[in-house]
């Protein structure tokens, strides 16, 4: 065998798995058809955050007088420069992964990898030639792509996916975003903040539908106040792209409405990249677009594993990384704990941000828990007031009988940085009273976690 391990795909699942394998003494190769870092570093998590930061800076300029700062003249968005900065950030991160591959002595094979037989991967190299490499173990980490609906075909110009939304040649004057998950809401926030007229269409009754309903309702109110038109309980039936503007036919609870926009962004989820990689030829079992694996990501075929978006669980970068580490440690003969998918944080990086982990209030009740709920609004936070960011709140959910920390839901400034405290607390099985008695620094946004826990037990001080 050429290697102990071959990883197909270099996203945050694949490259992390490769590095951990190298640390554990496995001779490792990674196959990537595009840029190291996969979608997350090049076309997802990282460049979108760069775009959002530009939008936030623009908002600061427009509201500088709120902070006692006068700026002569109006701020203006240089859309091409904003996109260029975003691409520069992504390129820098991809080069960082290149460095990590060299540092960890991981061979990088540039091309499209396909399973040929047990332990054999055929790679169609980017120069057009083909080679075969072998390994005792193979991890498939091929990720996902923008999902297309039959009535919302993407042409890459007028009807686009997230990749095109990051590199449009010019800023659209109007945009319809179909889907209000994290991707849809982040782009809606970005484009609205820099001056595009944005409409969000969501089939379900709440935006960010995986979040606690109270978070969804409050975020919707804030985004509407920012100027975003939000249509929930609505469905895009068709898009006419024949004219200068797209005509978007939307079915609502009261009838059909037509909205015109320069561009339509389809943000209705992702499809897995499992086609053409040899799964059928080798006999790897799949179901509904996902590769079937056990708790350590082993498929039904000996020596073949799968992680990330193509398997069970949330399609998130940090989930893929965690799965990759667990998978490799198991391959190396260690005994890692299976991943707890009920303790995975989810983040949406609009402004204000959304972060959550564990049970929503509704899910906790449906699971049979008797619950205690504590909330603390940022309007009562000294740090939030000083920062001019009083929108939002922290909501914590505990089991009333034993004090188990069931879930946390946050809406506000920088809450994506705060959620890790809750993830760690839940991992360590902390109770509500242990959170209350953990001294939080003042003034910080994170005090709201302690105060919300105190509110659940009628001990809150600052409300």
* pLDDT for residue 74: 72
Closest to 308 (Cα-Cα) out of 339, 266, 265, 347: 339
* pLDDT for residue 238: 94
Instruction: Give pLDDT tens digits for 197-247.
Output: 999 999 999 999 999 999 999 999 999 999 999 999 999 999 999 999 999
Q: Does position 73 have pLDDT exceeding 90, yes or no?
A: no
Question: Percentages helix, strand, coil for the chain, rounded to the nearest 5?
Answer: 35, 25, 40
Retrieve residue 392's tokens: 């939002």
Q: E-strand spans in 246-370? A: 246-252, 255-261, 263-266, 270-272, 286-287, 290-291, 304-306, 346-348, 353-358
Q: How far apart are CA 424 and CA 139, in angstroms?
A: 28
| pLDDT tier for residue 265 given thresholds of 50, 70 and 90 | very high
Q: Which helix (H) or strand (E) covers residue 31, if one does?
A: strand 28-32
* pLDDT for residue 158: 96
Q: Does position 340 have pLDDT exceeding 80, yes or no?
A: yes
For the question of residue 442 being annotated catalytic, the response is yes
Q: Does position 86 have pLDDT exceeding 90, yes or no?
A: yes
Q: Does position 266 have pLDDT exceeding 80, yes or no?
A: yes
Mean pLDDT of 73-89: 93
* pLDDT for residue 78: 96
* pLDDT for residue 72: 83
Closest to 383 (Cα-Cα) out of 456, 446, 311, 308: 446
Q: Does position 75 have pLDDT exceeding 90, yes or no?
A: no
* pLDDT for residue 360: 97
* pLDDT for residue 249: 96
* pLDDT for residue 55: 97
pTM of this structure: 0.95
Instruction: Give pLDDT tens digits for 170-199.
Output: 999 999 999 999 999 999 999 999 999 999
Pairing of strands 130-140, 144-146: unpaired
Closest to 422 (Cα-Cα) out of 317, 326, 343: 343
Q: Does position 300 have pLDDT exceeding 90, yes or no?
A: yes
Q: Dihedral angle at the C-alpha atoms of 83, 89, 94, 97, nearest 10 degrees?
A: -170
The verdict on whether omega for the bond into residue 443 sits within 30 degrees of 0, i.e. cis, is yes
Mean pLDDT of 141-167: 93
Q: Does position 362 have pLDDT exceeding 80, yes or no?
A: yes
Of the residues 63, 409, 440, 442, only one is catalytic, namely 442
Instruction: Give pLDDT tens digits for 104-147.
Output: 999 999 999 999 999 999 999 999 999 999 999 999 999 999 89
Instruction: Give pLDDT tens digits for 430-441.
Output: 999 999 999 999
* pLDDT for residue 388: 95
Q: Does position 1 have pLDDT exceeding 80, yes or no?
A: no
Mean pLDDT across the chain, nearest whole number? 96
């Amino acid at each position: 065998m050429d290697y102990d391990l071959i990883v197909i795909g270099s996203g945050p699942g694949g490259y992390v798995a490769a590095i951990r394998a190298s640390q554990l003494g496995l001779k490792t190769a990674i196959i990537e058809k595009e840029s190291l870092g996969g979608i997350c570093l090049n076309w997802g998590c990282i460049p979108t955050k760069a775009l959002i930061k530009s939008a936030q800076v623009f908002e600061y300029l427009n509201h500088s007088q709120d902070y006692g700062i006068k700026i002569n003249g109006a701020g203006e968005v240089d859309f091409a420069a904003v996109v260029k900065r975003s691409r520069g950030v992504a390129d820098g991160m991809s080069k960082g992964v290149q460095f990590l591959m060299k540092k960890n002595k991981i061979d990088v094979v540039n091309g499209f990898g396909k399973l040929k037989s047990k332990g054999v991967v055929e790679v169609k190299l980017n120069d057009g030639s083909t080679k075969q490499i072998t390994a005792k173990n193979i991890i498939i980490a091929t990720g996902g792509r923008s999902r297309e609906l039959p009535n919302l075909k993407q042409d890459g110009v007028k009807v686009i996916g997230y990749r095109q939304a990051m590199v449009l040649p010019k800023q659209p004057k109007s945009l319809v975003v179909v889907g209000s998950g994290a991707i849809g809401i982040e782009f809606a926030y970005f484009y609205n903040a820099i001056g595009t007229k944005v409409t969000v269409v969501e089939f379900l009754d709440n935006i960010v539908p995986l979040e606690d309903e109270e978070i969804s309702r409050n975020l919707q109110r804030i985004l509407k106040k920012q100027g975003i038109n939000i249509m929930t309980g609505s469905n895009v039936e068709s898009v006419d792209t024949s004219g200068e503007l797209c005509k978007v036919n939307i079915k609502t609870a009261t009838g059909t409405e037509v909205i015109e926009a320069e561009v339509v962004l389809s943000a209705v989820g992702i499809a897995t990249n499992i086609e053409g990689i040899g799964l059928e030829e080798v006999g790897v079992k799949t179901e509904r677009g996902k590769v079937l694996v056990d708790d350590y990501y082993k498929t039904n075929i000996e020596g073949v594993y799968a992680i990330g978006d193509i398997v069970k669980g949330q399609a998130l970068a940090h989930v893929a990384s965690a799965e990759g580490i667990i998978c490799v440690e198991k391959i190396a003969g260690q005994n890692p704990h299976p991943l707890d998918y009920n303790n995975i944080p989810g983040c949406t990086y609009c402004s204000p941000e959304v972060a959550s982990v564990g049970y929503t209030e509704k899910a906790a009740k449906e699971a049979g828990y008797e619950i205690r709920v504590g909330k603390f609004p940022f309007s009562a936070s000294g740090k939030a007031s000083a920062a001019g960011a009083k929108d939002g709140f922290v909501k914590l959910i505990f089991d009333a009988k034993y004090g188990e920390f069931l879930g946390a839901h946050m809406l506000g400034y920088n809450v994506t940085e705060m959620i890790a405290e809750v993830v760690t607390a839940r991992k360590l099985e902390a109770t509500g009273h242990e959170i209350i008695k953990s001294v939080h620094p003042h003034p910080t946004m994170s005090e709201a976690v302690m105060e919300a826990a105190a509110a659940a037990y009628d001990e809150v001080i600052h409300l």
